[in-house]
Amino acid sequence: MSYSNQEIQKTVEAQRAFFRTGTTLDVSWRLRQLRVLRDAVISHEKEFEEALQKDLGRSKVEAYLCDIGPVVVEINEMLHGLKRWARPERHFSGLMCFPSLVTKVYKMPYGVTLVISPFNFPILLTLGVVAASICGGNTVVIKASAKSCHCTEVMKKFIAKVFPPEFVTLIDGGHDVADMCLEQRWDKIFYTGSPKVGKHVLAKAAENLTPVALELGGETGNWCIVRKDADIEDAARKIVFFKLCNAGQICININQIAVAKEIAEPFIEALKAAFVRQIGEDAQENMEYPRLITSQAYEKCAAMAEGHRNRIVFGGKGNPDSLRFAPTLIYPVNIDEEIVRKELFCPLLPIVPFKDDDINDVLEVIESREHPLAMYLFTKDIKWAERVMSTHQYGGGCINEVCVHMMVKGVPFGGVGHSGMGAYHGEWGFREFTHPSTVLKGSTHFNLSLREHPYRESRILPLLRLLER
């Protein structure tokens, strides 16, 4: 469907008019909408599975594990916690405000929100964010990805069936439509995608001083560090599972591994064995192995692999017809090479060897680059790992594990710097889509004149200093 600026503006105006009716302010009403959304996701599971298979070659298990199931979990957490989260906070105003004793903080929705979602997890990263916006009491316009066209088509019909357009609606189309959306005045924008487009979204939002949440992949990719004391088999098994997931098209996936030279060879052999055990000798022929989203993505991956052909120690081949490219290990790679200075978003896995005693030099290089969305450490030295995790800048991560930090209830997910701004999931999503408004309840009795002119310093200043302690 083609859109015009006028049509999109009309959609925004209709949602703004609906928001101003105050309907979405009612927490009980929001809970009903969240239940409707959850039940509809469950009843449309088969359609979502089929669309994910067509767009990304996902198996039913991976479709549910990574896209459909997490939406249900997320909504259930909101249903459980929303009444508590939305309750106004009550504060003592303090002696400086006497005789006004009570101040409340109301959790107010922003209003009309724009959610721009990506192709790699098109159901989760659309409906999960929509749920957070609804939870906060907003209306939502979705601009879904044109790359995952089957999922976008299914979701467009799904949204139109579940919600009226003045509350939630989905707009499809390419970059031109996204730009038309960004020309409108929004109360909140939530974008998931690349840092490059994130800058564009932020610039357009700045024209109206619109608050923005950005969930980005990180410009220089996510590091995994494997120390010499790591459990090699355990690390390899977990890393391989994660790299196979969605064929590496995950914003928190491992972009490159830094491995201690002392264990590099056995670790690489363990990776090879884990790949074969989990996906078979020839991953591109396994129908459970996902594909790359477009022919352009495939060609980019294949070209990078060809450029490092002499250092490929596993994989390195693909099928341009099915768009499946095998998981590929590239070793050895210098920490300053171009391939480990950018987000790959594909099944290539460069491996950087380092002397274990030089780990601080590796960390210094990582810290000097743009902040990643995720960091993963494998080691038995938990004190060292916790010290690293508590002193470096990144979105989130794991020690001796991969990716599951984003599945923990009650914790935020988000990046920093080039990997994003803002955070969501559960209560953090509610916070992201609401503004805390502070309101002091004044008194008309026993008002003091100390704050009013004329000032008498000898009487007022000692009292002010006493009250401010």
Q: Give, in degrees to the nearest 5, the angle at Cα 43 between 40 and 46.
A: 125
The catalytic position among 215, 343, 370, 432 is 215
Check if the beta carbon of residue 212 is closer than 8 Å to that of residue 201. yes
215 annotated active-site: yes
Euclidean distance between CA atoms 422 and 222, whole angstroms: 18
How far CA 300 is from CA of 116, 223, 232, 246, 293, in Å, comes to: 24, 21, 31, 16, 12
262 annotated active-site: no
Check if the beta carbon of residue 328 is closer than 8 Å to that of residue 338. no
Nearest to 38 by CA among 1, 7, 82: 82
Check if the beta carbon of residue 25 is closer than 8 Å to that of residue 137. yes
If you write DSSP's letter for every residue of 422-464 in order, what string do you get?
A: --BSTHHHHHHTEEEEEEEE--SSS---TTSSSP-HHHHHHHH
Check if the beta carbon of residue 325 is closer than 8 Å to that of residue 292. yes
How far CA 392 is from CA of 323, 360, 373, 374, in Å, comes to: 37, 12, 12, 11
The catalytic position among 66, 151, 224, 251 is 251
Nearest to 365 by CA among 397, 413, 333, 398: 333
- CB burial of 364-387 (b: ≥16 within 10 Å; e: otherwise) equals ebbeeebbbbbbbbbbeeeeebee
Check if the beta carbon of residue 155 is closer than 8 Å to that of residue 122. yes
Nearest to 210 by CA among 112, 98, 325, 108: 112
Residue position matching structure tokens 């090479």? 337
DSSP classification of residue 326:
-
Euclidean distance between CA atoms 239 and 233, whole angstroms: 10
Q: Which residues are catalytic?
A: 215, 251
